[in-house]
Amino acid sequence: MAITFTWLGHSAFQMDIDGHKVLVDPFLTGNPLAARKPEEVEAELILLSHAHGDHLGDTIAISQRTGAPVICNADMSYWFQAKNVEAHGQNTGGRGDYGFMTVKFTIAFHSSSFPDGAYGGNPNGFIVTAKESGQKLYFAGDTALFSDMRLIGEEGIDVAFLPIGDFFTMGIDDSIKAINLVQPRFVAPMHYNTFDLIAQDGGAWANRVSSETSATPIVLDPGGSFTVPDNH
């Protein structure tokens, strides 16, 4: 088995993890780059990095349709549970076991409040480990560059997902530094080109990744997919 991911625009990904469907930050309604409608995506679990509307997105509707529980920080889980949405509330540094994968919550330097103003806890990234294939993903969430990304790299990351849009998160220059700290085999950009404020040239970014880091850049069009080759 293997991991295949499909970029749905912004920080939204449809993942196939050893045959299991996982959604990350499913912001589709109102996302100008959205490659799927909320009623078209598949989910056994929904991973949320933080509570901002461009990540929370269509989570409630998708969870209600598919029955997929939400994996999020503890403070967000209380908000979901009050709406009768099943949520597993982890917190920073902890690892959760979901059968076919584990999810470890990492730090992220950003903020986190719900669109209704409710408290959304601290923002996070995740290290997802697929048990069968053994592959590891690092999804950084919305974050600034931080030097402890080096510790995340020590876990041996197959694919890193990093924001490159600037303004709300790190931009291209800091993403190159992040890649050199994490040292993933592959790196995919996210959180860019959705809005004018975060417009970036993905091709120019990829050229810099190729010349300034040891990672292979994976630049997808919205709706595009990549299957992670086996490393073993």
Q: Does 25 engage in binding with Mn ion (CB under 5 A)?
A: no
**Minimum CB distance to Mn ion, residue 10 (Å):** 7
Judge contact between 54 and 26, C-beta under 8 A. no
By C-beta, is 60 or 206 nearer to Ni ion? 60
By C-beta, is 115 or 229 nearer to Ni ion? 115
- Please provide the DSSP assignment of 105-154 as one string: EEE-SS--B-TTS-B----EEEEEEETTT--EEEE--S----TTHHHHHT
Q: Which of 54, 158, 166, 174 binds Mn ion (CB under 5 A)?
A: 54
CA–CA dist 82, 190 (Å, integer) = 31
Residues binding Ni ion (CB under 5 A): 52, 142
Closest C-alpha to 80, from 106, 109, 49, 56: 56
CA–CA dist 121, 143 (Å, integer) = 15
Q: Is 82 helix (H, G, I), strand (E, B) or coil?
A: helix
Q: Does 16 engage in binding with Mn ion (CB under 5 A)?
A: no
Q: Does 158 engage in binding with Mn ion (CB under 5 A)?
A: no
**Minimum CB distance to Ni ion, residue 50 (Å):** 6
Q: For residue 220, give both structure tokens.
A: 């997808």
**Minimum CB distance to Mn ion, residue 113 (Å):** 12
Q: Which stretch binds Mn ion (CB under 5 A): 117-125, 137-145, 174-182, 224-232?
A: 137-145
Q: Which of 142, 158, 166, 174 binds Mn ion (CB under 5 A)?
A: 142
Residues 183 to 222: which contact Mn ion by CB under 5 A? none
- Chain residues binding Mn ion by CB under 5 A are 54, 142
